[in-house]
Structure 1
């Protein structure tokens, strides 16, 4: 049987040959297929990210807990629909010049109800939990949501490659280029910042070039390495002291430390993590590298019975007692005696509040001048300059300044950090079977109501003679489990101060929508890191701050809160302990109740 080629049936069209008709048929078919492919590619985010079981309530809860689903991330329109109840995302934000030249308050037109969010996720310890801004139920939100036009550099400032180590940066304090100190940081993000402060200070006092370390993510999101540029403004610290990147350090030291400067007694697993972070040997080094020096001792481990004895030399000498609390003064001689080693490549292991040194006046001020001699600087003066140089990345600072302009209208505002959930913060502090210095505070916190917090804030501002019309906005940062409590605080404050307005759009929603290109291109990817840093910056830039005593989240913000008055003198901005003002209001309320019952 002969082979047959079956062609599509050709319909006769007057004036056209069958050959032309067949060609037209295939051309139309090809264009249709190409059009379908283009459409699929254009809407690929929606096809890939949407799950048929995606629930609006789940989406809102994930957004508010600042941890997006790792498998199915919501699209921009899903975020808007879940939060506002409808989808009105503008399609051409980048070319909307009218919107670009308008502030966000001018775009606000519709009133939208936010759904109540139930969040039962617990947070981890060390006072570095995920926080959330608290807003009241009814919001004045723009129907067109948040414009997403940004400068390309806004995204890139977050990327590690933006630190150009080829730049000839001349630091104010020059350190020995042949000796190095690497900060081995531990615990949560804000504990790591405190450890970094201490490391920079020690590097200066020991005259060792600082190695800019790798940080670690929060335990609630699985940890992982965080590039320094996504935790601090690297260029700023480079302008203070001589510093090099980890990559240069590891190559210079042939991928091994020579000595450990030990701040605390640790598990061997912690040194394994330092090894993972740097690619350098931390416990078992080549015998040829060992420098035998007077005072060196064996590395102290909590699980030393279960591991091979490390051979890396360690300081301080064995007669020093290593504790969680500060155990050495900040004097240069004391530090050089404890860490008296000529070894080249040093690991400063697990610093936190190791060195007894304070920020002068509680205000982190920069040093004046160049080529400064650190020996002529007081401990407090030097430590203040160190803290001043450790700032949040420029991308975060710029984003918060935009939030203030476009959402708060550049008006002054009150910031509150309410940290006191008994599942996380009080997990170890407030146990009835474990009395400690926080026991009395825990008993009082259990009695404090949202009304007490609001009345305490209101009374404190009145005592400071702050005009009520000056604080139209209140930003409350709290763990998600305390959202309802914080919502009640806002409602009471609104009754007390009729001038109060709503910020309208939560900070995390603003960052998600306003910076869409950064997220879509993958230049912004660590949601929790960005949201947490941005929230700290919001607290730092506030005019009036009610901090949470006992929280490193709050304590790391406080030294940066200063300004210069009309006479160019440095003054510290208003701040009070929210626990103390709430306690005073609680005592006043309970006394009145007792009087009322007695009468």
Structure 2
């Protein structure tokens, strides 16, 4: 009996020892697992992620690590993985933002009274028309009108070129905020921010001064597409807007009182006005004093500061402080299209400005097939004036054939040409993750090229191009007179009658 009890006791003890060993083994296994280097590293990474979420916010980018197993070492090697970032493992709301230049606001109210201290009880904004460069001309004329009418103004909404908007699927891609197109110096004239304009004009009657006739299909289409965006920009209810048309539309304005006299009388009772297409509203004959005012307006409305800084960096890194800039506007798709050239070479029209379409088609269209005469003239000019660096701005369609042909011919003589491609690569290298630049590439590049050209030592411009004329007026307003036209370069007498076709 006693023997049986001993056997049972030993059996129970063995069972207890067995389960105790199993438990101890499991505990040891858990301890070993807990301090496994892989698990420890994962734990540290998670702590870093939690720390980043609490303190680093959206703008911090942190390098993560990965384990690479080696064959011989007993310990895993921890190496930096530059292809991965902690933001890729974090929730989307704390992922790092794209890196862009400092898009500083382009409007700051002057602390002192502006030179033209205008009536702040009446406000005026502008609905600008056509392509980006025409919009700048429109806005500058709008400022001119504001000064003449003694009305405080604000910045308008701008728009991408219609060719970009047509091919862009983003619903907001056609609108460009003012800070990405222009800077307004409020020390020149009384002006307020767009936000203040919207706040003060919200829920009250607004006069919409529309100088374009209903028969102008181009402007009617622009109004249908763009005006809703302008109202949304200011936070204005369209139902409060009343349309007016100015009187005596084709009368020359020569005296200050002419501007007020040509303003619709009833609209003067409105405190808020939106002026559509100021440039096309009146025939303005500027006096010598008015021309000085115009130069002041041009100087007060430069391109954005970040664009100017990028242009300076590009010139320093890619060009030379002394370089020639050429703008060739005459492309085979638009300006010198076959349809347009057929039309204007068969019909006689009164010449507008220094260059008619008829003259442009006859003189420039052949150069699209044989660039040699143009390249020769450029080379002669660079040799005479000792230029070794040339910036050539031209429509994208002409870069591959005309642009590269000129570049190759000048390179043979050790004259180096930069074009849009160099600018684009420069921007991508500086700001590869800037969302705005990706979404508005064409608009940004055009603006940046303009700023580069405006800083050139000598500028050869295209007539009948607002892209060129805006740069020309920029330079003139700052006393820079080293500018000629492509016609001058080619030695073409602009006043001579075109030779008839043989």
Q: Secondary structure at the match of 1:426?
A: coil
2:371 is matched with 450
- Structure 2: how far apart are the matches of 1:331 and 1:461? 45
Question: Taking structure 1 as reference, are residues 546 and 404 closer, same or farther at Cα in structure 2, changes over 3 Å only?
Answer: same
1:577 is matched with 485
Conserved 8 A contact 1:508-1:531 = yes
- Residue of 378, 392, 397 corresponding to 1:481: 397
Q: Secondary structure at the match of 1:267?
A: helix
- Residue of 102, 117, 136 corresponding to 1:174: 117
**Which is bigger in relative contact order (C-alpha 8 A, separation at least 6)?**
1
1:258 is matched with 206
Map residues 130-529 of structure 1 onto 2, 5 A cutoff.
155-156=101-102, 158-160=103-105, 163-165=107-109, 168-222=111-165, 223-234=173-184, 236=185, 238-265=186-213, 266-267=219-220, 270=223, 273-279=226-232, 284-285=239-240, 312-317=242-247, 320=249, 328-329=252-253, 331-339=255-263, 340=265, 341-357=268-284, 378-408=289-319, 410-427=320-337, 430-433=340-343, 435=347, 436=349, 437-448=356-367, 449-460=370-381, 465-466=384-385, 468=386, 471-483=387-399, 484-495=401-412, 497-498=413-414, 500-501=415-416, 506-516=422-432, 519=434, 526-529=440-443
Displacement of 1:351: 2.5
State the Cα deviation string for residues 265-294 of structure 1 (Å, max 9, x = none).
2427606732431336686438xxxxxxxx
2:30 is matched with 22
Question: Taking structure 1 as reference, are residues 168 and 563 closer, same or farther at Cα in structure 2, changes over 3 Å only?
Answer: closer
Q: Secondary structure at the match of 2:120?
A: coil
Question: Taking structure 1 as reference, are residues 429 and 176 closer, same or farther at Cα in structure 2, changes over 3 Å only?
Answer: farther
- Structure 2: how far apart are the matches of 1:173 and 1:475? 38
Q: Secondary structure at the match of 1:347?
A: strand
Map residues 59-70 of structure 1 onto 2, 5 A cutoff.
none
Q: Secondary structure at the match of 2:101?
A: helix
Conserved 8 A contact 1:563-1:572 = no
Question: Taking structure 1 as reference, are residues 539 and 272 closer, same or farther at Cα in structure 2, changes over 3 Å only?
Answer: closer
- Structure 2: how far apart are the matches of 1:169 and 1:516? 40
Question: Taking structure 1 as reference, are residues 314 and 454 closer, same or farther at Cα in structure 2, changes over 3 Å only?
Answer: same
The root-mean-square deviation of aligned C-alpha atoms, in Å, is 3.9
- Structure 2: how far apart are the matches of 1:39 and 1:480? 47
- Structure 2: how far apart are the matches of 1:282 and 1:577? 46
- Structure 2: how far apart are the matches of 1:23 and 1:196? 73
State the Cα deviation string for residues 484-526 of structure 1 (Å, max 9, x = none).
211111222334x44x245598111111112346x27x69863
State the Cα deviation string for residues 91-142 of structure 1 (Å, max 9, x = none).
79xxxxxxxxxxxxxxxxxxxxxxxxxxxxxxxxxxxxxxxxxxxxxxxxxx
- Structure 2: how far apart are the matches of 1:579 and 1:35? 69
Displacement of 1:337: 0.8
Conserved 8 A contact 2:329-2:335 = yes
Displacement of 1:25: 2.2
Conserved 8 A contact 1:155-1:523 = no
Conserved 8 A contact 2:299-2:477 = no
Question: For structure 1, which segment, 433-442 or 198-207, has the greater mean C-alpha deviation from structure 2 after superposition?
Answer: 433-442
Question: Taking structure 1 as reference, are residues 350 and 381 closer, same or farther at Cα in structure 2, changes over 3 Å only?
Answer: same
Question: Taking structure 1 as reference, are residues 217 and 203 closer, same or farther at Cα in structure 2, changes over 3 Å only?
Answer: same
Q: Secondary structure at the match of 1:181?
A: strand
- Structure 1: how far apart are the matches of 2:462 and 2:396? 16
- Structure 2: how far apart are the matches of 1:174 and 1:159? 25
Conserved 8 A contact 2:126-2:156 = yes
Based on CA coordinates, which of the two structures has the bigger radius of gyration?
A: 2
Q: How many residues align?
A: 399
- Structure 2: how far apart are the matches of 1:358 and 1:402? 40
Q: Which runs of 5+ in 2 are unaligned?
A: 1-20, 50-81, 84-97, 166-172, 214-218, 350-355, 494-498
- Structure 1: how far apart are the matches of 2:222 and 2:442? 25
- Structure 2: how far apart are the matches of 1:397 and 1:415? 16
